[in-house]
Structure 1
Amino acid sequence: MKKILVTGANGQLGSELNVLSKSYSQFEWVFTDREELDLCNLDNLVSEISRINPQIIINCAAHTAVDRAESEFELSDILNHRAVAVMAKWSSNTDCKLIHVSTDYVFDGTAATALTESALTAPINVYGQTKLAGEKACFEENPDSIVIRTSWVYSSFGANFVKTMSRLMQERDSLNVVNDQIGSPTYAADLAQAIMTIIAHPNWQAGIYHFSNEGEISWYEFALAIQEIGGFDCTISGIPSSAYPTPAKRPQYSLLDKTKIKEIFGVVVPDYRTSLEKCMSLLKE
């Protein structure tokens, strides 16, 4: 029985993989978070992974606090880059399959059409820079790795835009939401399913893949969809990013092209609205 190690188990994607693992009982699953596997302790990381001895690693762990990353470069670099290099090297040495999750923030946001895997990377914040360094380390240490870039992740688990908006729409009469950043949300349950489709596929094909839900929307339009599905009575106004300054710059346009992951692995990509309705009905329960 193959053993799958999932890092970042308490995050949104790790939690969704935990739910999905019940349907994949042909694998032995090991879910770890900081307590069970401290990725910041680089000196012990090899011996800790060796102790678990997985045949597949799904690395969901990351320093994802985008604004905090601006002042926490060292922590971001360890979690998003250097720990990834250790995992990739270990995987290469032991013939273990590695799936590493990355981000649309590796792009500068100046594109006007959906970004393919070969589009030029040029991150504009520390989070994006350290995640790109992690991607590169992955392939330097283990060319057989798979990297999946995703965007705007939400789930019924953890803290995210959908849960924050749902709460604020019930607490406030009006909200301002940025309307000039364009992309597509990703329901973490759909990403978890995509990862398992890849693992179950007979042909492992290393490389970079893009995954988000279908649709091209702004955060403002995303908020309007949340409002409509939730039936919230709140006035929502669109504002430019310049009216809402943050420590880290955000890409203005980061819509991901999903053609490659569909064609190579037969991954099904649901529309963002369908998935949002699913997630919000779970939240209502």
Structure 2
Amino acid sequence: MKRILVTGSNGQLGQCFAALAKEWPTLEFHFCHKAQANITNAEQMQRLIDKIQPTIIINCAAYCQVDLAEQNHALAYAVNATAVKQLAKLCKNAGIFLVHFSTDYVFSGATTKHSAEEPALLQPYSETATALPINYYGLSKLAGEQAMLDIAPMGLILRTSWLYSQFGPNFVTSISHKLQQGQALNIVDDQIGSPTYGPELAAACLQILTKHNLAKDFTTAKLLHLAGQGQASWYQLALQIQQLQFKYQQPLAGYNQKQHQQQTGTISAISSQQWPSLAKRPAYSALSSAKLKQLTGISLPPWQQSIAKCIKKSI
């Protein structure tokens, strides 16, 4: 039986793994949050590894507050880069398989034009695309990737995009709650990514860990993309949330669409320049997961299907 240690268990992705644990009886899970062992403390992590003796570590711990990272460089780097380096060394020395998650924000979001008359070519980023972060969060996550690749334990780095779930604060839960309160919302429409449903990301990760010969297929750390299929702007995603809320609430509440629109908030599109924030976001950061599908046969559904599943569970 594979013994799996999941760090960052109180975070959004950690909770997604915890919710799935009962569906994987052949795996022995151990969930660890910051109070039990801080991943920035190498000695604490060594003691935890000695106690549990995991065959796999899934690192869900991360500093994910993009704007606050601009003010807290040291903390963001300690969690997203230095701790990953330490964890990779521990895993390499003990022969433990390490799974680590990264972000589409390692990319600049720059697009190219052949001429002034032709539109920008928006092609989802592949693993071979040049990473060039435009905010400190992305910079710290890229440093963590590079450290793990340099140390090269058995392992897998999964870059994902625009993570959401029914757990904890995220874009989907925030927008859903504000709409139910009847708030008028201004949502950025010039940032595009690949919305990814956390429970599906976690399930896909576990499929890789159970269906593949890890020692053979991932002798040293590989970097792969795994995100929801397709792409959307934050504005498009918000509109989809609003439509799905009406779809699933209507049979329960018994009101028509006009009444629903009167009782929920409105959504207006704005530009990134109209939304003040400390950190710059890439205008385009959709990810291609084609390589992972080719190697493992695993992919995530179109984001429209996944957001519907999430909203239905939340109603």
Q: For this structure pair, what is the TM-score category when the shorter chain's length is used for normalisation?
A: over 0.9
After TM superposition, the structure 1 = structure 2 runs for residues 56-71 of structure 1, keeping only pairs within 5 Å, are 56-71=56-71
Give 1:174 shift. Answer: 2.1
Kept in 2: contact 1:46–1:86 (CA 8 A):
no
Give 1:176 shift. Answer: 0.7
Aligned length: 284
* Equivalent residue number for residue 271 of structure 1: 302
* Equivalent residue number for residue 182 of structure 2: 172
- What are the Cα deviations for residues 172-200 of structure 1, in whole angstroms up to 9, with x where unaligned? 35211000001111100110011011101
After TM superposition, the structure 1 = structure 2 runs for residues 32-71 of structure 1, keeping only pairs within 5 Å, are 32-71=32-71
* Equivalent residue number for residue 209 of structure 2: 199
Query: 2-side partners of 1:86 and 1:244: how far apart?
Result: 37
Asked if residue 150 in structure 1 is aligned to residue 181 in structure 2, the reply is no
Give the secondary-structure state (helix, strand or coil) at the position aligned to 1:209: strand
Asked if residue 83 in structure 1 is aligned to residue 88 in structure 2, the reply is no
Q: Which moved more, 1:228-237 or 1:264-273?
A: 228-237
Larger Cα-atom Rg:
2
- What are the Cα deviations for residues 120-174 of structure 1, in whole angstroms up to 9, with x where unaligned? 0011111111100000111112253210000111111111111110111122352
Supply the RMSD in Å over aligned alpha carbons: 1.3
> TM-score of the superposition, structure 1-length normalised?
0.96
Kept in 1: contact 2:156–2:224 (CA 8 A):
yes
Identity %: 42
Asked if residue 129 in structure 1 is aligned to residue 139 in structure 2, the reply is yes
Query: 2-side partners of 1:126 and 1:198: how far apart?
Result: 30
- What are the Cα deviations for residues 184-242 of structure 1, in whole angstroms up to 9, with x where unaligned? 11100110011011101223333111111112110000000000001263321111000
Give the secondary-structure state (helix, strand or coil) at the position aligned to 1:264: helix
Kept in 2: contact 1:197–1:265 (CA 8 A):
no
User: Unaligned regions of 5+ residues in structure 2, if any?
Assistant: 112-121, 247-259
* Equivalent residue number for residue 223 of structure 2: 208
Asked if residue 230 in structure 1 is aligned to residue 245 in structure 2, the reply is yes
> TM-score of the superposition, structure 2-length normalised?
0.87
Give 1:43 shift. Answer: 4.1
Kept in 1: contact 2:186–2:268 (CA 8 A):
yes
Give the secondary-structure state (helix, strand or coil) at the position aligned to 2:23: coil
Q: Which amino acid aligns with 1:20?
A: L
Give the secondary-structure state (helix, strand or coil) at the position aligned to 1:22: helix
User: Unaligned regions of 5+ residues in structure 1, if any?
Assistant: none
Kept in 2: contact 1:45–1:86 (CA 8 A):
no
Kept in 2: contact 1:139–1:145 (CA 8 A):
no
